[in-house]
Each structure stands twice: as C-alpha cells, then as structure tokens.
Structure 1
Amino acid sequence: MSSPRVVSERGVVFLIGAVQFVNILEFVMVMPLGPDFAAGLGIPTNLIGWIGAAYTTAACAAGVAGSYFLDRFDRRKALAVAMLGLVASTAAGGLATGLTSLLVARALAGLFGGPATSLAMSIIADVIPPERRGRAMGAVMGAFSVASVFGVPLALRVARLGDWRLPFFLVAGLGLLLAAAAIFFLPPLRGHLERKQAHTVSVRELFTNTNVLLSYSMTMLLNVAGFVIIPHISGYVQYNLGYPREDLESSYLVGGLVSFVSLRVAGKAVDKLGSFRVGTVGVGLFMAVLYIFFVQLPAGVPLIVLFALFFLSNGVRNVAYSTLTSKVPAPAIRARFMSFQSAIQHLGASVGAVLSSLMLTTLPGGQLGGMTQVVALSMALSLAVPVMFFLVERRLRERDQAPVSPLAPVALGTGGGAPRS
C-alpha cells in the first residue's frame, strides 16, 4: 500500500471539513426528522429530546474516555476508526424498531461521533498556525452550514418521498467513503507524539487550571442554552406555528446558505477583532431571534427569515467560541483537552435536551406546551456567555505576553503550533 500523500493546508481543511460534514449531518438531521420517526415508531413528540440526549450523553462519556488515550495515536488513524464506528452506528439507526432500539443506536453513534469531532478540531489546530486558525475554523465549521444547506433539506425530502429510515442509510454510505478518503489522503499526523515534553499534564492539572475551567464553563453554557431549543424546532414549527412540513426543507436550505457565508465572515472578523467582540454580537443576535421566533412572533414574518437569523446568530457565536478555546492548550495535550471539551460540549447538549423534554408537554393536537419557559431559560444562560468570552480572551492575552523561562515546563502553554522555549 502506498503511503498517504502530503496535502496542503487547504487540502487538510477541505478533507476535515468533509468528514465533519458527515459527522454533523448524522447528528443534526435527526431532530428535524423527529416528527417523522416519532410518528413511525409511536414516540410522543416531547420525548424527541431524549433521542438527542442519547447521542450527546454517550459522546460525553466517549470524550472523557478518549482524553486518556487519543493523544497516544496518529490522529489520522484515530479519526478513521472513529468514522468507521460512526458509519455502523448510523446504519443501525435506520434499522430501529422502537424507542429503545433507536436510543441504543443513537448512543452508539455518540460514542464514535464525539471523538471524531475532537480529533477533527485537533488536526486543524495542529496543522494551521494561530494567525490563520480563525479562518480555518470558520471553514471547517462551514460543514454545519453545508449540512444545513444540502444535507438536512435533502434528508427531509428523501424521508418525505421514501421513508424516514433512508436518510440514515445514505449518510452511512457517504461516511464510509470519507473514512476511506481520510485513510488514504491525509498525511500521518504524529507531530504531537514526536514533540518532547518536559512535563506531562495530568487530568488533575488540566481541571485545576483557570483558563481551562473558564473555557469548559463557556462550553457548557453555550450548549445548554442552544440545546434546550434545537431539538424541538421542527415540532414547534409544524405543530405550534402550523407550517406545512414542506416549508422546513426550504427554510433549512436558506438558513444554511446564510450560515455558510456568515461563518467565513465571522472567522475573518475573529482573526481581526477577537472572539469577545464577535462572540458578544452573536450572543445578542441569538437572544433577539429567540424572542422573535418563540415568544413574540410578528405577523407576516416569513419562516425562512427566522431560520436565516437563527443560523446566523448560532454560527457567529460558535466560530468565536471554537477559535478562542483552540488557543488554550499546548499542542502535545490538545487532543486530551479537546476530548474533555467535546465531553462537556455533549454533556451541555444532553442537559439542555433533557431539561427541555422535562419542561415541555405534548398537547392533544401535537403542539408543544411550555416553550416560553424553555426560551426564558436559554436567554438567561446566554447572558453569562459574553462575560466568559471576555475573561478567557483577556487571560490568554496576558499569558501569551508573559515572559517564559527556557527552563519552564511545557504545560498548558500556548495554543500555537509549537511550544515556547
């Protein structure tokens, strides 16, 4: 077998973005399809959040476990294994026969999808230097937009014309192709193994570092605030607002297109203005959209506009957050740091999904009762996010400007391409 070719920064970003597209689509298509498989399997509408929570809870556990061993392997091989497991689990979701079997399949998907995300972000942070990382993160996170532009509307259309199971099988097939591409086209990614460290950072040290704790707290807040809302958007639009199911396809398409453009603009803005300024704008817009969408919807506002604004706000705050947190760890512990971060990210999503399912009720007509209270919770949590942006960014700036002794151990160090010495 010939060795994998050496590809450019742009090639790595493109391939990782494609892998992330499948990983993200596999996750994000499930909630819009919720009313379809709920009807097909006899699942109450308000329990759709539990399906999302099965994935995120398992991904959280996988993130914690992965933090102990992912930094010991070539990132290319580890990513390939994670993607192959995700492919098998996605196919299993299409074979579900009831709530229990679907929960098991989604949990298995989370066990592989969580590490795949942290490995993908670690690869980008390893390959791309800090001065271009915001743009690269925006490009990779554009996979979310592409999944929304093409993937989710297509999954909805395929399920409407065929069966809700078919999108699961199609995504599994695409994931298999990209897992093979990662194996054969990515170069060996062993730089973190070859770099000598004077000091190995333990889990205890990681969780007693102020920068890390602030970063993880920000991660938790963002994801709880988002996932008390996200699993129920499709059901709310169809049952509470009375829009036909066909409108979801065009709404996700337009929302994804807006996000695709805005992520790149936001990535460049973060490189120039910093995460605090850009992230605060994103959080403010996110809260405004929640109020308009779920609390005080003006007459005549098209559903497409609401989706576009929601995707825009969510994308801007996420690019600012991802770029900022990528600068916290030193390269040799990046996978460990990001594995725990992925675990906390999925834990936050799980907590949000479960909280919303407990707070909501399914009314006789299928409508969701209690959305105003859920939105109030999301907005209250969002208020603390700009404060976290400010604190993390300021502390990282002070750390990077501080003189470092040549004898100082490399611990949580810089987020750049090589440890300072």
Structure 2
Amino acid sequence: MPSPALSERWLITLIAAIQFINIVDFMMVAPLGPDLAIGLGIATSQMGVVTGVYAVGATISSLLAATWLDRFPRRSAMVFCLLGLAAGTTAAAFAVDTWSLLTARTIAGAFGGPAMALAMAILIDAVPPERRGRAMGQVAGAFSLASVLGVPVGLELARLGSWHTPFWVIGLMTLLLAIIAAWLLPQQTPQHENPQPSWPMLYQAGAPRLGLLMLAVSVTSGFLLIPHLSTFFQINLNYPREDIGLLYLVGGTLSFFSMRFAGRCSDRFGPTKVSYAVTAGYLLVLWVTFIHTQHWLPIMVMFISFMLMRTSLSVAVNTQLSWVAPPEQRAAFMSLKTAVQNAATATGGIISTWILTEDEHGVLQNLATLAVVAAVLAILQPLLMRRLQQQITHKQ
C-alpha cells in the first residue's frame, strides 16, 4: 500500500509520470523516422527494425527480471531501472550510424521494460480491484500525454535542433525522474522472500498464459502499423512534415479523455464488453484508412480514430490482466507481461518490414495487406479475453 506520505492519488500521478517518460522514449523514434532516414541513412521501410530493437531489449530483460523482481524492494529496483533507461536514451544521441543507434535503443529497452513492469506492479498493489479500471485509465493516459506533449515536442526539438536533441532531453528528464522516485516512491518490501517461479506462467495452461496470449495478439495487431504511421501520412498521403506534431497533439488530447472513459466503462460493464465494442470500431478504422483508403476523409480524422481505438483497447486489456496474478507473483507476472508486450511489438514491427516495400519516391506499398493481417489479429483479441474472464471467474 502507498506510504502515508504519498496518497493513492499522488502515487498514481507518479506512476503515470514514469510511464510517460518510458512511453515517450519508445514512441518518439517512429515519428522521427524521416529525420533519422536523412541523418543516418536508414530506409523508411526499415523503421520497424529501429522500433523493434527497443522491444527486443525490453523483452529479454523482462524475462530475466521476472525471476528476481519480487525479491527486491520496489523503490530500489525502480530507481536502478530508471538510471539505466536514462543512460541508454542519452547514448542514442551519440549514434553515428544505424548500428550504433540500434545498440543504444536496445540498451534503453533493456531497462525500460522492467521499469514499466515495476510501475504496474506498484499500482496494482496500491489500488483495490473496484477502482483499478479507473486507475488503469489514468495511468494509460500517459500514452495520450506522450502524444500530446512528448512526441510533438520531440519532433519540434528535432526540427529546431537535430534528431539528436530529443534523446538528450528525454535522457535528462529520466534522470530527474529517477531522483524523484528515490525520494517519494514507497519502498513496498517483498511479501515473500522466495516467491514461486514465474516462467511457468508462460507455458503452463491457465489464466496467466491465456492472458499473455491475448496481450500478444492485441499488441501485434497495433504494431504492424504504428511504426509506419508518420511515413504513411507524410509520404503516401502528402501530409506536411511541419504538421505531424499537430496530429499527435490533437489525437493525444482526445485519447487522454477516451482512455479515462474506457477505464470507467471497464469498471462498470467489464473489460470484455468494452473490448468487443472498441474492436468493431478498430476494424472500421483499418478499412477506411489502410485497406480501402477513403481519401475524402481528413487525415486528422483517420489518425485520431486510430489512436482512440488502440488506446481504449489497451485500457481494457490491462484492466483484465490486473486480475490474473496473486500479490506474491504480481511483479513477476507484470515483468512477463512487459516481455510479451515488447516481443509482440518487435514481432509486429519486423513482420511489417517483410510485407512492406517502397517505390523510388519512398511511398510505402502493400499497406492494405498489412492492415488485413492486423484486422485478423484484432478479431481474435476479444474472443481470447472472453475466455480469460471465464477462467478467472471459475477460479474465484
């Protein structure tokens, strides 16, 4: 539970700040794709790899961390991970070619993954189940704030300075957040000195494995497309580079409120019903944006709709997963969840590079095929969630 010096509300705010920095660190790379292509000579169709290596680092480290996270005080582990994330992010500013950038991003992911897992474990420990959906919506709002503030500011810093500048700024902000976390975050000592092994949750039949499979399907569906949004809108649809920040600003602002609404709906109606409804909207967005592009639709409407659907699905999925693990395995499960989430992110990004090509003008080809694959995975996600809810209810 939160310490007397830090109320539940302020603890949620601190956790949201940690997630905000972590998400900005990850999200800002894809919109910087055209800038990185010019600065380092990376092909625009290969931006999924640049996004994917961060996820690979986060996946491997989260799998390893699952064996020890529940053995250490939460605060100490969190500060360690934030310091490593700051170092990895700052190192990206020194990249001189593609490989040095990939190495720095892998290091950042290796610390960012466990940091995200610890943040969610701290939140679930502190917030009772009846308010958890709302808390998840508030913390998930960090994604929206990252879009509203982080990504547009990062793009503007790159425009005014160079592509190096955003990495410097985020690295320093992460260092500052590590100092704040060391000062304010409750210690939350381990409930068990020898918790049960965590890796069996990946392969043994039961709610944890099913929940992780559901998460993997949902994340892969999104990240087949997310690394290429900036390139698609700028090059395929001729949206001005100087207005890309505005897309993220407006989309992030609206999704900030929609995620809170999705959290309240998950508490009231259950995440499964929310997931069915939002998935239907997501399929429609895929159709009009990528599969059968409706050029009469404003690009702003396309982008906002995509963001609203993806972020609302994220709230429903995370709310459902918060009920899966017992307290003594919570950090371990959240670490496995982070590993699976980042593995799915990397998988989506890498698969997209196999399907997509580009013409001599840099225009992405085969996006409709990619969107169909994303749609098939999207249909599976609420079906898996329904089965997971049945297993959780039966166990209780």
Look up the match of 1:77.
Answer: 76
- The equivalent position to 1:312 in structure 2, one of 294, 308, 311, is 308
**Residue type of the partner of 2:341?**
Q
1:297 matches 2:296 = no
Look up the match of 2:14.
Answer: 15
Tell me if the contact between 1:5 and 1:187 (Cα under 8 Å) persists in the aligned partners.
Answer: no
Q: Which 4+ residue blocks in structure 1 deviate beyond 4 angstroms?
A: none
Alignment: residue pair count: 394
Give, in whole Å, the separation in 2 of the partners of 1:395 and 1:116. Answer: 29
| Cα drift, residue 340 of structure 1 | 1.1
Look up the match of 1:223.
Answer: 219
- The equivalent position to 1:365 in structure 2, one of 350, 357, 361, is 361
Q: CA RMSD in A?
A: 1.4
SS in structure 2 at match of 1:355:
helix
Give, in whole Å, the separation in 2 of the partners of 1:68 and 1:297. Answer: 46
Q: TM-score, normalised by structure 1?
A: 0.91
Matches within 5 A, 1:178-257: 178-190=177-189, 193-194=190-191, 200-201=196-197, 203-204=199-200, 207-257=203-253
Tell me if the contact between 1:146 and 1:256 (Cα under 8 Å) persists in the aligned partners.
Answer: yes
Aligned in 2, Cα 1:205/1:92: closer, same or farther, shift over 3 Å?
A: closer
Give, in whole Å, the separation in 2 of the partners of 1:270 and 1:194. Answer: 29
Look up the match of 1:26.
Answer: 25
Aligned in 2, Cα 1:187/1:6: closer, same or farther, shift over 3 Å?
A: farther
**Residue type of the partner of 1:230?**
I
Tell me if the contact between 1:118 and 1:335 (Cα under 8 Å) persists in the aligned partners.
Answer: yes
Tell me if the contact between 2:206 and 2:391 (Cα under 8 Å) persists in the aligned partners.
Answer: no
| Cα drift, residue 202 of structure 1 | 5.1
Look up the match of 2:45.
Answer: 46
Deviations 1:6-37 (A, max 9, x none): 20111110001011100000000110011111
Tell me if the contact between 2:71 and 2:192 (Cα under 8 Å) persists in the aligned partners.
Answer: no
| Cα drift, residue 137 of structure 1 | 0.8
Deviations 1:310-361 (A, max 9, x none): 1110111110000101110001101111111111111111111000011111
Matches within 5 A, 1:343-382: 343-382=339-378
Look up the match of 2:131.
Answer: 132
Deviations 1:190-210 (A, max 9, x none): 1xx23588x835533663141
SS in structure 1 at match of 2:14:
helix
SS in structure 1 at match of 2:51:
helix
Max Rg structure: 1
- The equivalent position to 2:319 in structure 1, one of 313, 323, 348, is 323
Deviations 1:146-176 (A, max 9, x none): 0001111111111112111101111111111
**Residue type of the partner of 1:132?**
R
| Cα drift, residue 5 of structure 1 | 6.8
Give, in whole Å, the separation in 2 of the partners of 1:399 and 1:218. Answer: 18
**Residue type of the partner of 1:130?**
P
Look up the match of 1:403.
Answer: none
Look up the match of 2:58.
Answer: 59
Look up the match of 1:395.
Answer: 391
Q: Percent identity?
A: 39
Residues 296-305 or 46-55, more deviating = 296-305
Give, in whole Å, the separation in 1 of the partners of 2:256 and 2:264. Answer: 13
SS in structure 2 at match of 1:383:
helix
**Residue type of the partner of 2:305?**
L
**Residue type of the partner of 1:68?**
T
Deviations 1:183-224 (A, max 9, x none): 10112111xx23588x83553366314111110110110111
SS in structure 2 at match of 1:23:
helix
Give, in whole Å, the separation in 1 of the partners of 2:191 and 2:352. Answer: 45
Give, in whole Å, the separation in 1 of the partners of 2:367 and 2:117. Answer: 32
| Cα drift, residue 125 of structure 1 | 0.5
SS in structure 1 at match of 2:163:
coil
Tell me if the contact between 2:67 and 2:198 (Cα under 8 Å) persists in the aligned partners.
Answer: no
Matches within 5 A, 1:133-172: 133-172=132-171
Give, in whole Å, the separation in 1 of the partners of 2:159 and 2:31. Answer: 12
Deviations 1:62-111 (A, max 9, x none): 11100011111111111111111000100111111111001001100110
Which structure 1 segments of 5+ residues have no match? 401-421
| Cα drift, residue 372 of structure 1 | 1.1
**Residue type of the partner of 1:283?**
T
**Residue type of the partner of 1:320?**
A
Give, in whole Å, the separation in 1 of the partners of 2:259 and 2:247. Answer: 18
Aligned in 2, Cα 1:301/1:347: closer, same or farther, shift over 3 Å?
A: same
SS in structure 1 at match of 2:390:
helix
SS in structure 2 at match of 1:112:
helix
Aligned in 2, Cα 1:341/1:194: closer, same or farther, shift over 3 Å?
A: closer
Residues 25-34 or 199-208, more deviating = 199-208
Give, in whole Å, the separation in 2 of the partners of 1:129 and 1:333. Answer: 16
- The equivalent position to 2:256 in structure 1, one of 236, 256, 260, is 260
